[in-house]
Structure 1
Amino acid sequence: MRPAQATIDLSALLHNYRLAKTLSRGGALAVVKADAYGHGAVRCARALAAEADGFAVACIEEALELRQAGIQLPILLLEGVFHPDELALCVEQDFWLVVHAWWQLELLEQAALSRPLNCWLKLDSGMHRVGFFPHEYAAAWQRLRACANVADIVMMTHLARADEPERVSTLEQLRQFDSATKGLEGLRSLSNSAATLDWPEMASDWTRPGIMLYGSNPLAASHELGRHLQPVMTLESRVIAVRELPAGEAVGYGARFVTPGPARIGVVAMGYADGYPRHAMDGTPVLVDGQPAALAGRVSMDMLTVDLTRLPQAGVGSKVELWGRHLPVEQVARHADTIAYTLLTGVRRVAWHYHG
Structure 2
Amino acid sequence: MSRPLTATIHLSTLRHNYLLAKRLHGGRVLAVVKANAYGHGAVRCASALASLVDGFAVATIEEAIQLREAGIDRPILLLEGWFEPCELVLIQQYDLWTALHSMAQIVDIEVANIHKPLTVWIKVDSGMHRLGINAGDFALAHARLLATGRIDKIVAMTHFSRADELDSQCTPQQIDRFTKAVAGLNVETSLSNSGSILAWPAAHGDWGRAGVMLYGGTSTDRVLPDWPLPVMNFDSKIIAVRELAAGEPLGYGARFHTDRPTRVGVVACGYADGYPRAVPTGTPVLVNGQRSRIIGRVSMDMLTVDLNDITGADVGSTVRLWGEGLPASEVAAAAGTIDYELFCNVKRAHQIYED
Cα separation, 2, equivalents of 1:237 and 1:59: 32
Match of 1:153, SS state, is: strand
Which letter does structure 1 place at the counterpart of 2:159? H
CA displacement 1:32-65 (0-9 Å, x = unmatched): 0000000000000000000100000001100000
Match of 2:166, SS state, is: coil
Match of 1:8, SS state, is: strand
Cα separation, 2, equivalents of 1:317 and 1:112: 61
Shift of 1:266: 0.6
Residue 145 of structure 2 is matched in structure 1 by 144
Residue 276 of structure 2 is matched in structure 1 by 277
Contact 1:219 1:226 in 2 (8 A): no
Q: How does 1:1-356 map to 2 (within 5 A)?
A: 1-220=2-221, 223-225=222-224, 227-356=226-355
Cα separation, 2, equivalents of 1:238 and 1:283: 19
Which letter does structure 1 place at the counterpart of 2:277? R
Structure 2 unmatched runs, 5+: none
Q: Report the aligned-residue RMSD.
A: 1.1
CA displacement 1:42-89 (0-9 Å, x = unmatched): 000000000100000001100000000000000000000111221121
Which letter does structure 2 place at the counterpart of 1:24? H
Shift of 1:201: 3.0
Cα separation, 1, equivalents of 2:77 and 2:94: 11
Cα separation, 2, equivalents of 1:219 and 1:91: 36
Match of 1:29, SS state, is: strand
Match of 2:98, SS state, is: strand
Cα separation, 2, equivalents of 1:297 and 1:241: 15
Match of 2:153, SS state, is: strand
Contact 2:100 2:120 in 1 (8 A): yes
Match of 2:110, SS state, is: helix
Structure 1 unmatched runs, 5+: none
Contact 2:25 2:204 in 1 (8 A): no
Contact 1:197 1:226 in 2 (8 A): no
Cα separation, 2, equivalents of 1:286 and 1:92: 47
Contact 1:237 1:270 in 2 (8 A): yes
Name which of structure 1's ranges 261-270 and 132-141 shifts more when overlaid on structure 2.
Answer: 132-141
Contact 1:217 1:226 in 2 (8 A): no
Contact 2:118 2:153 in 1 (8 A): yes
> Hey, which bits of structure 1, 4+ residues long, moved more than 4 A?
none
Cα separation, 2, equivalents of 1:340 and 1:350: 17
CA displacement 1:112-158 (0-9 Å, x = unmatched): 21111000001011111110112222211111121222111000000
Shift of 1:312: 4.5
User: Normalising to structure 2: TM-score of the pair?
Assistant: 0.98
Which letter does structure 2 place at the counterpart of 1:133? N
Match of 1:228, SS state, is: coil
Which letter does structure 1 place at the counterpart of 2:261? P
Contact 1:284 1:295 in 2 (8 A): yes
Shift of 1:95: 0.3
Which letter does structure 2 place at the counterpart of 1:237? S
Cα separation, 1, equivalents of 2:278 and 2:159: 30
Shift of 1:200: 2.0
The aligned length equals 354
